[in-house]
Every structure is written in structure tokens, then in C-alpha cells.
A and B are shown apart, each in its own frame.
Chain A
Amino acid sequence: MSSQILAEVCQCVEGFGSAAKEGRWRTTLTIYRPVARDPSSTATSAPVPMPGDLPRDFLGLTLHDRPGAYFFILRHHRLILQADANVQSLMDKLQSYKARVVLHFEGFQYQLGDFMLRVGKCVQSHADTLRGIMMEVEYLPLSSIDKSRQIMEDFLDIWQDAVIKKSLPGQFINVELNFADYGLQDQYTPQHTALQYATCIVQLMATVRS
């Protein structure tokens, strides 16, 4: 994992010839932790619910193309909440959950025919260590996930071939997500994107641990 590999991935995209570089992008993911009461500190005899009742998979996201919105995800509860961006200020004032880790997905985006590609690195806020390299592929003409499934799979096959030919170490992993588990429909929305970034970070953390 290095900036050199990221540069070579970008060269892979630019090697398609018709890819037009369109500027930078950034998505921010925050991992929240509960500010839990210490069960041993209570003076009452009544049973106190253990802090284990509180979610530990609580994520927040700001998407690159939705600066006015904020997305909260509770993975265990299969919940995604969309709110205005100032909901972060509200959460700060509640002091019930604190931001523990902030990660930025950032890089360059390219228009390649009907596709928009965003290639970037994952870095922790205020740190230079590269945590991962990711790519977001958007097919612009269609909003239906089912109808665009085949063309997306075909594109990914082409992309994997290009990466192999470049002899890059490692491989891109596409983790399928069942959006229906979160109550989302076939029509693609920013909530779908937010869920995919959450899945991406879980995959990244699992890979690092292994």
C-alpha cells in the first residue's frame, strides 16, 4: 500500500485514452463511540443496563457530492438515517456519542464515457498513513440497480484486466451489499452510496486485521 501504487492505479484509468480528469473529490467517514456510563459508578441498587446495549458500529458520512447532507449508519441495526449537515453540531451538543476516528476518502475523478470514476486513497484525519486505495464507479445513464448490474459487471471485468496487465500488487475487491436489508429500493440514491462507503471501510478494516 503506497502512494506509488495509487499513482499507478490513476495511470490505469488515464490509460483508457478517453478518460477526462475532472478534479478532486473527498468523502469523510466518522466512527462514533458512545459516551457510556460506568456501571460501577452508580449509587443506586437498581440494575443499570450495560453499555454493551449501545451500538459500537455507529458511522457518519459526508459525501463528496452532497455537502448539505449527512448520513448516519447503524450497521447492526441495518439503519441508515439521512439528515442535514448541521446534524453533526446537534450530535456534538448531545455529548452522547463522540467522534473517535475520522477517515477521508479522497482523490481524482474521471469521466470515461457514460462512467464517472473516482480513484482515491483512504487516510486517517491528521495522519499521512495510507489505509487503503479504493475506486468508485458510477454509471450515469441509469438509476436502477438491477438494470445496470450487467454493464457494471462488464466494466469491472475490463478494469480488473487492466489492473492485471499493469502488474499491480493486490486486487480490487467488490463487496456486494444487500440494500434491501436497510430498506432501500432499486432506485439508486445517495443513501446507497453512503452504505457502500461504510461497507468499504468494514472490508478495509477486516483486511488490515487479517
Chain B
Amino acid sequence: MECVVQGIIETQHVEALEILLQGLCGVPKERIRVHELCLKSGPSLAVPSEIRLLCDLAQPTPSWTVRHVGGAMRGAGAEQISVLVRTMVESKVSNNALRFFYSLGYKLDHELLKIGFAFRFQRGAPITVTVTSANKMPKLHATDEAVPVTPGIQMVEITAPTAGDNYNEVGAAVSSFCEYLAPLLHLSKPGVSTGIVPTAAAAAASLLSNTGGANTPQLLYLFAMSCFQMTLLCEADAALYPLHEHDTEVL
């Protein structure tokens, strides 16, 4: 299972988001170039199902993964938390996976090329933040000719695995991290659209003009000042919280 939230950001602000994430996560970013093939069960199979084959093109030798995303958790517990909890199983597979699933009666529904970057780090839970553009191919499997589906807009997704009995803690860790990103983008459960954040432009400009190699505490202080100037007091407080832990005086 996993906890997940999503949001969108204008491509012009992705650089600022990357700087912020670099400062918050403290790990190197990973390049993403994934050919994603969505397969659906054909008419001969009784139970409709869907899988995604992911071919990682960022590595010297492409590697394949099959992923199945199941239904979301329902009930009072699900409604009370701000993240979506859903089943997700993925497995590495050999490179003949597409032919294999065709032989099982699956059909290609659509394919995308996802390009961007990811940060994987530990903050209360193992968290992965991906920022990607979705690109469609004019011809079958023509990844070199892919063009953006939504030019100017990229998707941000934050996921964290959960065993099912700790989804509250994992969800809280994800929600807590999302607060750091609030001036740039809002993240919510998939399917709940919040649009583009109106403060994104100002926040991005502040990040780009003030960082230039700053370390994490200075970066967070500058970001907090930007939030304060935009009267985003909760976001400013959240950005300053790591400084509070070290008993650093805050102006």
C-alpha cells in the first residue's frame, strides 16, 4: 500500500521547486525518463483490470517494472486524513513483459513518456517526490518524438509506502512535508483538483533570487521570510520549525 498526494505546477516554477526540494531533502535528485505503457484486460477476460509497464530509460540498460494500483481505502478513517491510501504492487520484470501481457490477453490502452526528476529521502517515513511532464507519442513507442500533453504544466506527486497499519503516521509525515511546499503548490488526494497556487510566482522568484548555493537552514530562513511577506504565516512557521529545533534565534 502507499499514501499519495498530487498537485500541478507551472513549468516556469519547476526550477524553484527543485531548489527548494534539494534544500529540504538533502539528497541528490534522480533523473526520470520513463516510458509508461498502460495495459487493460481484453474482452475475453471476465474481470476488468489494468496494469502499467514502466520502462526506465534513464539507465544505461533499460529496466522494466510492472505496477498495479488498486482501489483507495474507504471509510471514516480515509476521509479524515489528507492523503489517499491505496493498494499498490510493483515488481521488476524481464524485458519481454509487453509481449507476455499481450499473450495473456491484455491490450495497450495508451502510452506516455514521463520526463523529470525525483527525490527519495527519509522524513518520518520513506518519501518520494517526483516532478514530471507527461509526453505523448505521435507514433507507437516513438519515445524520441514525444511531445508534452500539457505544455507549461508539470505534475508533482508525493508517495510513501505504508504497511496498512501505520497509514496515519505515514500520512501525517507526507502532509507535514507538503506544508513546506505550500507557497509553490498545493498537494491533495488524486482526483481532488486544487489548481495552480496564486503565490507560486512570488515564492519561486524569491527562491531563485535568494539561494545561490545556500545551505538548508539559510534556505529555509529565506523561504520563511518570503512566506511572511506574502502573509502566509503558517507556511512561514512550518519553514522555520527545523531552526526552532536547534534553538536558533529567529528575527
Contact = CB atoms under 8 A, between A and B. Distances in A.
B41 A96 contact: yes
B91 A35 contact: no
A168 to B, nearest CB: 39
Interface in B139-170: none
Contact of A36 (B46, B92, B93): B46
A54 interface: yes
Contacts of B47: 35, 94-96
Given A34-B45, A96-B41, A83 B104 contact: no
Given A55-B103, A96-B105, A83 B44 contact: no
A75 B44 CA distance: 20
**Band of interface residues on B:** 20 to 34
Contacts of B68: 90, 93-94
Interface stretch (A22-30, A45-53, A126-134, A199-207): A45-53
Contacts of A74: 100, 103-104
Contacts of B104: 34, 54-55, 58, 74, 96-97
Interface in B74-133: 87, 89-94, 96-97, 99-100, 103-106
A48 B43 contact: yes
Given A49-B43, A183-B96, A86 B103 contact: no
B200 interface: no
B49 interface: yes
A124 interface: no
Interface residues of A, number: 32
B39 to A, nearest CB: 10
B43 A72 contact: no
Interface in A64-108: 72, 74, 77, 79-84, 86-87, 89-90, 93-97
A88 to B, nearest CB: 9
A137 B87 CA distance: 42
B41 A87 contact: no
A140 to B, nearest CB: 25
Given A86-B89, A93-B70, A79 B44 contact: no
A128 to B, nearest CB: 33
A54 B100 contact: no
Contacts of A166: none
Given A37-B43, A53-B105, A83-B92, A96 B49 contact: yes
B97 A49 contact: no
B91 A83 contact: yes
Interface string B36-78: 0000011111110101000000000000001010100000000
Contacts of A95: 47, 49
Interface of B: 41-47, 49, 51, 66, 68, 70, 87, 89-94, 96-97, 99-100, 103-106
